[in-house]
A and B are shown apart, each in its own frame.
Chain A
Amino acid sequence: MTKEWKDVLGDRIPSDVADDIDVFENQMQLRKAGKLDEKVFAELRLRRGAYGQRYDNGKRHDGFATRDIPFPRRGLTKGPETEFDAPGMQRIKIPFGKLTAEQLEVLADCAEEYSNGILHITTRQDVQLHFVDIEDTPDMHRRLASVGITTREACGNSVRNVTGCPYAGICRHEAFDISPYADAETRFLLGHRDVQDFGRKFKIAYSGCEADALGCGRAAMHDLGFVAAVRKTDSGDERGFRVVVGGGLGPVPHVAKELYSFLPVSQMLPVSQAIARVYARLGEKRNRNKARIKFLVAQLGIEEFRRLVDAEREILEPDVRWEAFIASTERAPEYLAAPVTATDVGPAPGFEEWARTNIYNPRQPEFVAVLVNLPLGDLTSRQARKLADIVRTYTADSLRTTVDQNLLIRWIHRRDLHAVYNALYDAKLSLNGANTIADVTSCPGTDTCKLGIASSRGLGAELRERLNERRAQHDPIIKDVHIRVSGCPNSCGLHHIGDIGFYGSSRNVGTYKVPHFQVILGGSLENNAANYGLAIGAVPSKRAPETVDRLLGFYAAERTDGESFRGWVTRVGKKNIKGRLEDLMTVPSHDEDPRFYVDWHDAREYSIGDIGIGECAGEVVSLTQFSLATAESKAFDASLIVDDAGANDDEIQRAAQLAYGAMVTAAQGLIKTRDADIKADPSLVFETFKTQFVDSGLFMDRFVGAGQWQYFQNAHEARGTVRDRDEARRRVEEAQLFIEATHACYARLAGARA
């Protein structure tokens, strides 16, 4: 009789967790038997981290046409328009990035047996496996649970992985080690009844220091952020946090607002619970585009939100875990008592260059920490096992995933450094250049993501290769420039906080579609990632590397002493920079250079999902494209104003009007496909657009339309006015997204005519 993982691991999995996995396995059987609704099952699997993946609707464009994928059980679904047999992505939570050697080995086994032998580290310190069969997930979850890893609430509308500074405990700048607090938060909120009724996901981050110079905490871009602080009191130092709420990237980024300047650690868990309850009660549920907590905070204002949280905190039923979890924050040392190496054997080749970029000197001088630079966040199962050996041999199990898609081995005795490097070298994990310009961050994009518009990993790989080759030629300050690439506006690649950011978009050129990337300038990691960049225009995907080259060339030639890339962008101005990139925004005709019509690391002619290639490039099309270009120009001008720290109230209002005008112009452009003489009167355009494109459903597809229409409505109802700079900045982002949606709609119309 064959024993299954369930039988073998039974006593190694907590009974409640084992029961939970059994229930999920039963739900899967019910779904297969048609006894559980597909929507219900979709949410159930999402809450266990089992995500959809590109082409899981059973259709794929092969470069010539969209074709059905003949899955064996075609029609059996695991969610709306999601084929049951289609492989999916499994997201695995790694709270504050902390991994043990044993956990890494089990992850490696799962990657080999259920995926393709690749472990992918995300920008939120998770591990993701791709091409996973849903029917393998219960056993995978059991194997992970047997070593203390959960996938519960890794996706879905709940509390996602709690991230934390990977340098916590060794950082030279931290107020204190946030690890035990991030751990307490994770345990307290996992499966908590008050986090089960959110309209959207909820992301929490812990940072150890205010400046966050390494960009490792990033509290300001999270739904809820905790920044460690110490307050002097009569009885000594008191630990606490500056608490920020309502941040987030995504299509419309918000910088989190300060909820409390200092919250004692004893209040951390009850306040988190109170925030969750306020969000669950008052947050948007129907319109998912407005459902993140950032919209609630913006709508209420931070003062009112604080009042509500304080009131909720007062009426919370006391919970012994508030104190118990915080009281149990002491942890075993992560270092060995003595070095392992008796005599230094000397380093393998490449040590000096590697040491310049991959070593972190902690505040404990007898130790070092080393970054394992993973190309695009990927490592193989075999590498993972070798890494587990290194971690086990030279530390007391001290490994973290980082928010830059790398790994950090901490608490290495200095005397062991050469031995560790040599072991990494043998494992082909000694790639230098960690956290330099060549260490490009990228989301999965069109490789595997259902929402991807352009190949972010393809571009990321291309940039890595080119920049690695030339990195030695760059002066040190250029090495510190960070490039971040997302496949769509949702910002999983964190393009808003890159010195140079890109996000995928699509443009029509004649009868073809061409992959593009919007160029984002002006973001940075400083101050817990509180500075977001703005788009200056889209370049064809194939011109993105040249765009980077040119930007770096300008920066190298024009920067003043010690001036950061962001400082240079601010001083020179985006308008000036855009003007010098405009020739790169053009696309040669298909006959001239067909390579522009194929995305990076792909061989198919570019397409977005099932949208057909339009052939009608007549007069009306030209008018539409002209209007869309004008709209983009207005949105860009608006972005320049809101980006100017010295802009006064009148100028901010002008920016808002420009953004509103951009939406009107884009809408007018679409109307021109039917009425070339449509006047520019905003009310006429608004009403006509509503009737012809919204009420008719033409503007909407599965992914875009409804939210963008809401942006236009809001701007129109306010007649373009805004309350403050923050709202103006959002209006500009919304205008850009509305324009993107009009491009998409136009492409669909062109396809339908073909």
Chain B
Amino acid sequence: MSENLERVCAKVYAAEPGIPDSDFVPVFHDWIRRRVIGGVLLDVADYTHVPDGPGVALVGHEFTYSLDRSDGRFGLLVQRRRSTGANTEASIAATLSTLLTAAERLETHRTLKGVIKFDRSVIRIESNDRRRAANNAQGVDLLRAASEAAVRQSFPNAATRVQLVDEDPRNRLALSVSIE
């Protein structure tokens, strides 16, 4: 397979935080001001009025971070926005690493301590490039192999179980990776 899939998303889930989504707006503004996370951070976008949408999003040059419910469950979604010439595994690994860092920063943010705790045992990994990895058997093969390898970089000793999340070929190809 020669396809080089760079545009990917990764998401970790959490229980509903029990605070208004609008409380995340100042958190992300604070991240921009204090450069809490790497990369170029641009602005905060508020989509809390849209049901099952990206919620509050921190838009960056390389990644966008959303407190997302687009698949019906609350979580932190990181979207890799740019092509840099990396291969598929490296792109997923970089996205996972960024996701886990952002999750840790949110959990420990001074205004959110005890409010939010992400479940790192299940990670959703998505292709965001239908040209290179559509929601079909070929796409699944590409994403599954690269995802398993990338997850091993973050969780070296863990066993993984991968499931296709959504078979509607129009939706983004998404895998659920269980880490045991």
Taken residue by residue from 449 to 471, chain A's Cβ proximity to chain B (1 for < 8 Å, 0 otherwise) reads as: 00000000110010011000000
CB within 8 Å of B: which A101-125 residues:
105, 108-109, 112-113, 116-118
CB within 8 Å of B: which A453-491 residues:
457-458, 461, 464-465
Note all chain B residues with C-beta closer than 8 A to A380. 50, 52-54, 70
Write the chain A residue with the least CB distance to B22: A601
With known contacts A63-B33, A113-B128, A72–B43 Cβ distance under 8 A? no
With known contacts A54-B43, A60-B42, A2–B132 Cβ distance under 8 A? yes
Q: Which of B11-19, B24-32, B98-106, B152-160 contacts A (4 or more CB under 8 A)?
A: B24-32
Taken residue by residue from 167 to 180, chain B's Cβ proximity to chain A (1 for < 8 Å, 0 otherwise) reads as: 01011100000000
Note all chain B residues with C-beta closer than 8 A to A69. 40, 42
Q: Which of A3-11, A302-310, A312-320, A505-513 contacts B (4 or more CB under 8 A)?
A: A3-11
Quick one: which of B47, B54, B79 has the most chain A CB within 10 A? Answer: B47
Q: Does A70 contact B (CB under 8 A)?
A: yes
Shortest distance between the CB of B101 and any CB in chain A (Å)? 19
Q: Does A340 contact B (CB under 8 A)?
A: no
Q: Does A603 contact B (CB under 8 A)?
A: yes
Q: Does A651 contact B (CB under 8 A)?
A: no
Cβ A382 vs Cβ B42 within 8 A = no
Cβ B171 vs Cβ A118 within 8 A = no
Cβ A112 vs Cβ B42 within 8 A = no
Note all chain B residues with C-beta closer than 8 A to A108. 170
Write the chain A residue with the least CB distance to B53: A380
Note all chain A residues with C-beta closer than 8 A to B52. 380, 382-383, 428
Cβ A55 vs Cβ B43 within 8 A = yes
Which of A55, A62, A376 lies in contact with B33, CB distance below 8 A?
A62
Taken residue by residue from 356 to 383, chain A's Cβ proximity to chain B (1 for < 8 Å, 0 otherwise) reads as: 0000000000000000000110111111
CB within 8 Å of A: which B49-83 residues:
49-54, 57, 59, 61, 64, 66, 70, 79, 81-82
Note all chain B residues with C-beta closer than 8 A to A4. 131
Shortest distance between the CB of A119 and any CB in chain B (Å)? 10
Cβ B170 vs Cβ A118 within 8 A = no
Please measure, in the bound complex, the distance between the C-alpha atom of A60 and the C-alpha atom of B52, giving whole angstroms.
29
Note all chain B residues with C-beta closer than 8 A to A118. 47, 50, 53-54
Write the chain B residue with the least CB distance to A109: B130
Cβ B57 vs Cβ A378 within 8 A = no
Please measure, in the bound complex, the distance between the C-alpha atom of A60 and the C-alpha atom of B59, giving whole angstroms.
13
Note all chain A residues with C-beta closer than 8 A to B61. 71-72, 85
Shortest distance between the CB of B26 and any CB in chain A (Å)? 4
Q: Which of B1-9, B113-121, B143-151 contacts A (4 or more CB under 8 A)?
A: B1-9
Which of B3, B45, B170 lies in contact with A447, CB distance below 8 A?
B45
Please measure, in the bound complex, the distance between the C-alpha atom of A385 and the C-alpha atom of B168, giving whole angstroms.
10
Note all chain A residues with C-beta closer than 8 A to B82. 133
Q: Does B107 contact A (CB under 8 A)?
A: no
Shortest distance between the CB of A219 and any CB in chain B (Å)? 31
Cβ B29 vs Cβ A603 within 8 A = yes
Note all chain A residues with C-beta closer than 8 A to B22. 601
Please measure, in the bound complex, the distance between the C-alpha atom of A219 and the C-alpha atom of B33, giving whole angstroms.
46
Q: Does A602 contact B (CB under 8 A)?
A: yes
Please measure, in the bound complex, the distance between the C-alpha atom of A63 and the C-alpha atom of B22, giving whole angstroms.
17
Cβ A62 vs Cβ B29 within 8 A = yes
Which of A64, A131, A133 lies in contact with B45, CB distance below 8 A?
A131
Shortest distance between the CB of B121 and any CB in chain A (Å)? 25
Note all chain B residues with C-beta closer than 8 A to A63. 29, 33
Shortest distance between the CB of A273 and any CB in chain B (Å)? 40
Note all chain B residues with C-beta closer than 8 A to A3. 131
With known contacts A62-B32, A116-B54, A133-B82, A5–B131 Cβ distance under 8 A? yes
Shortest distance between the CB of A121 and any CB in chain B (Å)? 12
Note all chain B residues with C-beta closer than 8 A to A379. 50
Shortest distance between the CB of A112 and any CB in chain B (Å)? 6
- Rank and list the top 7 A-B pairs by shortest CB-CB distance, nearest first: A603-B26, A428-B51, A375-B49, A62-B33, A603-B29, A601-B46, A461-B49
- 6 inter-chain pairs at a CB distance below 8 angstroms, sorted by A residue, are A69-B42, A87-B42, A87-B59, A113-B129, A116-B47, A131-B59
Interface residues of A (CB under 8 A from B): 1-5, 8, 54-55, 60, 62-64, 69-72, 85-87, 105, 108-109, 112-113, 116-118, 130-131, 133, 375-376, 378-383, 385, 428, 447-448, 457-458, 461, 464-465, 601-604
